[in-house]
A and B are shown apart, each in its own frame.
Chain A
C-alpha cells in the first residue's frame, strides 16, 4: 500500500470531537494475519500459568498386599493381607483395581511450562495487535461494536487520569463500548464442574481491553471493577489478552500515547524495533491477498484465454422425432412449416361448412325416428320368436309352454 491509512484520536469527554484528525496507523497494524502462529504460541503460553499439582505418591499403595501366586484359582494381582475385614483378600495396587493406585501417577515434576521462541512470541503479539484493527475479526470474536465510532479506537490520554469507576463507565458509554460490557454482565454464568469449589464460581466473558502508556496512570483502579474490562500497559501487551482463547480480534481501546508507542515497540517495515531489540515485523508472503481483484484485473484478463463453454454434443435422452415435434424440427427444419400447412389446409376445407346447430326440434325428431326404428325392430324380433314357437307347436307336437329338450 502506498497510502498509509489514517486514524483519528477522539476526545475523552465527547465522542463526536476529534482531537487529532489524522494520525498514521502504526506499522504493526499492517502485519499479515497469521492465525497459525497465534494458535501455536497461545496454546503453549497458556500453559505457563499452571501451578504444579500431583497425586499423593502413596495413594493406593498403603497396603502390604502380596500376590497369592498361582494355584489358588484367583487372578495373580496383589491382594490385601490380613483377615477380619472385607478388604482382606481384595485386589490392590493395580490401576485396574478398586482402590488401587492410578497408572502413571502425576508427578510434580511434570513439565508444566513451555518455552516458545521469542521471535514467534513477538510475531504472534504483532498479529494479534493487527487483528484488533480489523472490524470483521473483532465482530467474529463476538464483541458488540456497532456503536463504536472507530476501529482501532484511540482516545486522548485524559482517560489515564480517571480515578472513579463512574468516570470509566461514562467513558465507555460515550464510546459505544458499554454494549460490550453489558454483554459480559448478561452472560455471566455459574461454571460447570468442580472449579466452582475451587474459587472459579463464574465464567465471565472478555470485554474491552484498555491499553495505556504512562506508568503513573490511575485508570487501572477506575476500570478494574467494570466487569469484563481489562487494563494493560502497552509495554506489557499480553497475547493471552489480545487473543483470548487463541481467537484473534479483541476489542481494544488505545490511549494516544500508547498508540504512538507501538511504532517504537514493534518497529516498522523501514526500521527494526528499538525496544524489542532487532525485531523486524513479519513480511507478508503476498502483498495483495485479494484474489478476486487479481483475477479480475486488466493485466490478468488480457493474458487469459476466453472461458471454455461446455459444448453439448447430444442430448442425454434420445427423443423420437416422429412423436416429439421439437426433435423433428431439429432434424428437418421444414417440418414445422409442413405441419402448419396441414393445419391450414384442414381449416380451409372446413371453412364453407356451417357448424350444425343442434336445435331441440331436430333432436326431438331424430329421437322419435330412432324410437320408431327401435320399436319396429322390437316388434320384428317378437314376431319372429312367436313364429318360431308356432312352427314348433304345429310340426313337432310340442305342448305350449313346455321346455325343449333338444
Chain B
C-alpha cells in the first residue's frame, strides 16, 4: 500500500500518536526520531528499521532490539525463521556490540533515505551507551553484593 495514501489516513489519528505540549509525537516502534512526520513514521513505509529498547533480564548485555519491517506482498509470517517473526516485522536482538546492527541499518537504507539511516544509527548509539552505563552499574552492584 502506498505510503502516501496510508499517511493521509493515519496522520490525523493513530494508535501511536501522542500530542503533548503542542508537540506531535509518536510511539511507533519504527520511528527513531519520536516526532510524527511523514518520513519518520516507519510503520506505514515499506522499508523501515526500528531501534527498540526492551526490558531484558539483568546481566543481559544489551537491551536493544532491532525491528525490521518486512516488505512482503502477501503478508504472512515466516514460521520457520528463528527470529521472532510477525506479519509485519522481524525482531533481531542486538547482542554483542553495535556493529552488526549498524550494518543491518546501513544495508536497509543504502544510499537513499540517509536521514532515516542516521536517525536509526543515532538511536542505536544512544541506547548502546545507556546500556553500557546500566551494565556498569549492575556489575558494580553485583561486586558490592559479593563483598
Contact = CB atoms under 8 A, between A and B. Distances in A.
A137 B5 contact: no
A8 B87 CA distance: 13
Contact of B1 (A16, A136, A141): A136
Contact of B87 (A5, A16, A150, A291): A150
A151 B75 contact: yes
B86 A146 contact: yes
Interface residues of B, number: 25
B10 interface: yes
Nearest to B13: A247
A291 B10 CA distance: 17
A5 to B, nearest CB: 5
A208 to B, nearest CB: 14
A292 B113 CA distance: 12
B44 A8 contact: no
B88 interface: yes
A286 to B, nearest CB: 9
A151 B15 contact: no
B57 interface: no
Contacts of B73: 5
B21 interface: no
Given A140-B43, A148-B87, A33 B9 contact: yes
Contacts of B43: 136, 139-140
B37 interface: no
Main secondary structure of the interface of A (DSSP, over half): loop
Contacts of B13: 140, 247
Given A8-B76, A16-B79, A149-B77, A137 B6 contact: yes
Given A5-B73, A150-B76, A290 B2 contact: yes
Contacts of B2: 288-291
Among B4, B5, B6, B87: residue with most chain A CB under 10 A: B87
Chain B CB within 10 A, most for which of A146, A151, A247, A248: A146
Best-buried of A7, A140, A247 by chain B (most CB within 10 Å): A140
A35 B74 CA distance: 23
B10 A5 contact: no
B55 interface: no
Contact of A290 (B4, B16, B77): B4
Contacts of B15: 139-142
B75 A136 contact: no
Nearest to A247: B13
Given A35-B8, A247-B13, A290-B4, A136 B44 contact: yes
Contacts of B77: 148-150
Contacts of A149: 76-77, 79, 87
Interface in B30-85: 43-44, 73-77, 79
B145 interface: no
B115 to A, nearest CB: 14
A54 B27 CA distance: 44
Interface in B102-121: none
A147 interface: yes
A135 interface: yes
A16 B78 CA distance: 10
29 contacts: A5-B73, A6-B74, A8-B76, A25-B74, A33-B1, A35-B9, A134-B6, A135-B88, A136-B1, A137-B10, A140-B10, A140-B16, A140-B44, A141-B14, A141-B15, A142-B14, A145-B87, A145-B88, A146-B87, A146-B89, A147-B86, A149-B76, A150-B87, A151-B87, A151-B88, A176-B86, A288-B2, A290-B3, A291-B2
Given A33-B1, A146-B86, A151-B88, 5 more contacts: A135-B88, A136-B1, A139-B43, A149-B76, A150-B76
The 5 closest A-B pairs by CB, nearest first: A142-B15, A140-B14, A289-B2, A146-B86, A150-B76
